[in-house]
Amino acid sequence: MRAFTNAVKGQESLGLLILRIGFGVISLGYGISKLGDIGGVQKMFSHAGIPLSVVFGPFVAVLEVVGGLALIVGAATRIFSLLFAVMMVVAVLTVTAGHGLMGGFDINLALFVGLIGLVILGAGRYSVDAQTFEKDNMSFVQTQNA
């Protein structure tokens, strides 16, 4: 175990890159799917009790596409991660909570926890964020590994 620990020591930014790409691809996929059936999304949102489904359906679809791409490249990571984390809470409260944990809101919970991790830790050094902001504004992981 020590050999593995030593091998990954200092690779926190690589871990954050993997998380960002994973969450970004998931968000992008859902967003593209929603854009392909905006009417269906609006009906689903309305059925779930989400107000202004005519507005929020397209908004969420575009947010998932733009935010997904942003997470992949690590741009505005904390902002998009927070927005997606809020979306997971809304999804649980409006759709999946009634189905219980397993097969219900388990995926939403897993995504929420990982996204909050990105809110706290930031994008890591392999990101647009790291190239854009001064070291003083970088995440904890970036400043520890710089």
pLDDT surpasses 50 at 143: no
Q: 75: helix, coil or strand?
A: coil
Q: Which of 130, 94, 95 is nearest to 16 (CA)?
A: 130
At 146 the pLDDT is 47
Those residues with Cβ within 8 angstroms of residue 45's Cβ, 6 or more apart along the chain or in another chain: 53, 56, 57, 60
pLDDT surpasses 90 at 136: no
Per-residue pLDDT reduced to its tens digit, 94-123: 999 888 899 889 999 999 999 999 999 999
At 1 the pLDDT is 79
9, two tokens = 């020591």
Per-residue pLDDT reduced to its tens digit, 7-44: 778 899 999 999 999 999 999 999 999 999 999 999 99
Residue 74 phi, psi (nearest 5): 80, 40
